[in-house]
Amino acid sequence: MTWTSVEMMTVTAARALTDDDVCFVGIGLPSAACNLARLTHAPRLRLVYESGTIETRPDVLPLSIGDGELCETALTTVSVPEMFQYWLQGGRITIGFLGGAQVDRFGNLNSTVIGDYARPQVRLPGGGGAPEIAACCRRIFIVMRHSRRAFVDRLAFLTTLGHGPTGQERRALGLTTEGPALLVSDLCIMRPHPETKELQVTSLHPGVTRDRVVEETGWPVAFSGVVVETPAPTARELEVLRDLHARTAAAHGVPAE
């Protein structure tokens, strides 16, 4: 079977989740990846969304954290203060799944502005709960499309702390959670170096070369000592993902992705 680069990215991100995880889910690509995992290899994966829905099992992908699909299919819904104070700050979430407009080599994210803050070229939605998610979840997974516009040497604005501007600030601030442990793009998989915390390529998706990753990355990208090829999506994974997108499109009255 053939697949798109976005399908490759979504499937790869989904595979990183397990039945033992409690996952704080972001809207968009993170939501697609988490629900694909739940519908395939990790049926006991517990999904929570920022609006307070716990163990939600949506039949279609939500348009936002306030989508009624989340509340209707959740085991229970709690208040937002309880979600953040008891569940998130209480250390009960194993994985935070995030995206952003920009990411740097240390997994810091920008979802605030492009350009000067006072006179931005683009005003973005903002951080929402992402800064708290990144600080309090045990580990962070990032999923983003790969381009020089998104993978930048210097963020226009630091919205969400990864490992900090030099890779050392997270530990210096006393945060005990791991921070960004995985980045999945439509070209490759990146993981932080154990010491420097700089993201380095550990796996290339089928058909992607090192040169292409270098061309699409805004910093001098590093490769791990052993770089493998990411396993291709299976027919089953693609079938479930495409069916999920088709149901979502039908429910929202838009073309399927």
- Judge whether 73 and 58 are in contact, CB under 8 Å: yes
50 classed as catalytic: yes
Residue 115 tokens read as 């350009």
Q: Find the catalytic residue in 7, 50, 69, 198.
A: 50
Yes or no: say if 139 and 94 are a contact pair by the CB < 8 Å rule.
yes
DSSP for 120-159, please give it.
EEEE----TTHHHHHHHSSEEEEE----TTTB-SS-SS--
C-alpha pair distances (Å), 143 with each of 13, 30, 61, 151:
7, 6, 16, 12
CA distance 170 to 114: 24
Q: How many CB atoms lie within 10 A of CB 222?
A: 14
In which residue are the tokens 């935070």 written? 96
Catalytic residues: 50
